[in-house]
Amino acid sequence: MTLSTAAKPISQKELRMFRGSFWLLILAETMTFVTLFSMRFLFSGTSQPAELNYVLGIILTVLFITSVFPFRRAVSAISQGNQQALVSNLMIAFFLGLLALIGIFYDWVTLGLVATDRYGGIYYLTTGFHVLHIVAGLVTLLALWSSARRGRFSPQNYWVVEAGALLWYFVVVTWLALFLIFYLI
């Protein structure tokens, strides 16, 4: 098989197995985030420091939410056999995610929170763990984009694109929870 040919179709049994396994991974990661979110209230109650940059938090939220739409269009495109739309939408989602990642780094550099106090420590720990997931999502997007450019996906087998989308949706939903818990509650 050459690099320019699409992956072979997979059976419905394999597809169910892949989807189920991936959902178990998402569930495990969710439990870790729930623990971190619980620690926020355990360590610092419901108080919020004045140093939080609410405007940046809203901008990041908009970037993450916006990034879902091109990823969704990418999955839809490959299900219909549209390779070009798949490639372009994956790149748009990547750049929106990259902008959000840069925004989080900017937040860390300019934020006046102290990493050794209760709120600051759990904030940096939770956002840092989220950054690891963002980076994994961005690497996944680049890998999908590279494979899509070579025609590796087809309407008969695009499970990997679906999995990448699920990972990215998890990153976005986790940011929404993080924003709610650290900025609004």
Domain positions in the chain: 12-37+53-184
Cβ-contact 103, 60 below 8 angstroms: yes
Query: Residue range 48-66: average pLDDT?
Result: 93
Split at pLDDT 50, 70, 90, the class of 5 is: low
Predicted confidence at residue 2, as pLDDT, reads: 40
Q: What is the pTM of this model?
A: 0.88
- Architecture, CATH, for domain 12-37+53-184: Up-down Bundle (1.20)
- Please state which of the ranges 45-49, 91-95, 178-182 shows the lowest mean pLDDT: 45-49
Say how far apart CA 183 and CA 40 lie, in whole Å.
11
pLDDT digits (tens, 9 = 90+) for 120-179: 889 999 999 999 999 999 999 999 999 999 999 988 888 899 999 999 999 999 999 999
pLDDT top residue among 131 and 1: 131
- Per-residue pLDDT tens digits for 96-122: 999 999 999 999 999 988 888 888 889
Mean pLDDT of the chain: 91
* Among candidate residues 153, 166, 158, 146, the one with its CA nearest the CA of residue 68: 166
